[in-house]
């Protein structure tokens, strides 16, 4: 990857013919793109990348995680407005997590029960919380369904909720963290990572507000 500086624009050239879509390559590219974006923000410069990728729809057909993340990062760093960039990254991370869960059928729902609850008399699963979300675990016993849960699934976008995998799903080998999802690892700072990880059962708008507040 080559970086060329102009007066008010940084032009990045990537050899897409020889690029390898593996973890090591993705880490290297995303780390460098994130650093260049910070530099561009500080000096109020725009970023231009010559590439065949023009929109995110193409990426939604990609099966390789690292090709997807590289593509999203390339589109994101060219967005000059932070709110637009964070909103785009947030939505695409949610899309990726939803895509993995649905295509791999991680929860394997049958008769309104996930596979971990099939041999029990309860439907209480991950999408339930104490009435007092903050302190309920200390004094409350009963759980209530999340207010964003509908018959068609979740009606909001919470990366923290989507990252959570119960013990049974982890046994299948699936575990998401703020570090193995490279878009979070390189484009969000430490405080933002904590916000993403701990913000559950909340609407996207409230989470985005905190992420933007702690952008530095």
Number of domains present in the structure of the chain:
1
Least confident of 56-65, 98-107, 155-164: 56-65
Is 181:93 a contact under the CB 8 Å cutoff?
A: yes
Residue 22 domain-assigned (yes or no): yes
User: How far does Cα 99 stand from its chain's mean position?
Assistant: 11
For 37, the enclosing helix (H) or strand (E) is helix 23-42
Q: Enumerate residues 6+ apart whose C-beta is below 8 A from 14.
A: 1, 2, 29, 49, 50, 51, 74
206-212-214 Cα angle (round to 5)? 110
| Percentage of the residues of the chain whose pLDDT score is greater than 70 | 95
Residue 138 domain-assigned (yes or no): no
The pTM score is: 0.89
Residue 64 domain-assigned (yes or no): yes
5 pLDDT tier (thresholds 50, 70, 90):
low
| pLDDT, mean of residues 185-192 | 97
Query: What are 87-114's pLDDT values in tens digits?
Result: 999 999 999 999 998 888 888 877 777 7
Residue 141 domain-assigned (yes or no): no
Residue 119 domain-assigned (yes or no): no
State yes or no: pLDDT of 15 exceeds 90.
no
Helix (H, G, I), strand (E, B) or coil at 73: helix
Taking the C-alpha atoms of residue 8 and residue 47, their distance in angstroms, rounded to an integer, is 9
Is 159:196 a contact under the CB 8 Å cutoff?
A: yes
Taking the C-alpha atoms of residue 163 and residue 176, their distance in angstroms, rounded to an integer, is 5
Residue 23 domain-assigned (yes or no): yes
User: Could you tell me the residue range of the domain that residue 206 belongs to?
Assistant: 2-111+157-213
Taking the C-alpha atoms of residue 58 and residue 62, their distance in angstroms, rounded to an integer, is 7
136-123-176 Cα angle (round to 5)? 70
Residue 52 domain-assigned (yes or no): yes
Helix (H, G, I), strand (E, B) or coil at 102: helix
| Percentage of the residues of the chain whose pLDDT score is greater than 90 | 53
Q: Enumerate residues 6+ apart whose C-beta is below 8 A from 136.
A: 129, 130
Query: What are 22-39's pLDDT values in tens digits?
Result: 999 999 999 999 999 999
Residue 41 domain-assigned (yes or no): yes
């Amino acid at each position: 990857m080559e970086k060329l500086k102009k007066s008010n624009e940084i032009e990045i050239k990537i050899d897409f013919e020889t690029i390898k879509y593996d973890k090591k390559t993705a880490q290297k590219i995303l780390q460098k793109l994130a650093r260049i974006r910070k530099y561009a923000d500080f000096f109020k410069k725009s970023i231009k990348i010559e590439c065949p990728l023009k929109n995110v729809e193409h990426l939604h057909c990609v099966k390789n995680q690292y090709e997807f993340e590289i593509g999203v990062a390339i589109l994101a760093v060219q967005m000059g407005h932070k709110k637009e960039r964070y909103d785009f990254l947030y939505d695409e991370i949610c899309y990726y997590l939803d895509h993995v869960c649905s295509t791999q059928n991680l929860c394997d729902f049958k008769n309104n029960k996930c596979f971990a609850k099939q041999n029990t008399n309860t439907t209480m699963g991950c999408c339930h919380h104490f009435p007092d979300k903050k302190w309920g675990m200390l004094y409350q016993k009963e759980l209530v369904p999340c207010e964003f849960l509908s018959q068609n699934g979740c009606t909001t976008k919470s990366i923290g909720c989507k990252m959570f995998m119960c013990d049974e799903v982890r046994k299948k080998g699936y575990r998401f963290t703020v570090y193995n999802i490279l878009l979070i690892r390189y484009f969000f700072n430490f405080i933002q990572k904590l916000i993403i990880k701990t913000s559950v059962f909340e609407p996207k708008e409230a989470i985005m507000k905190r992420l933007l507040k702690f952008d530095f």
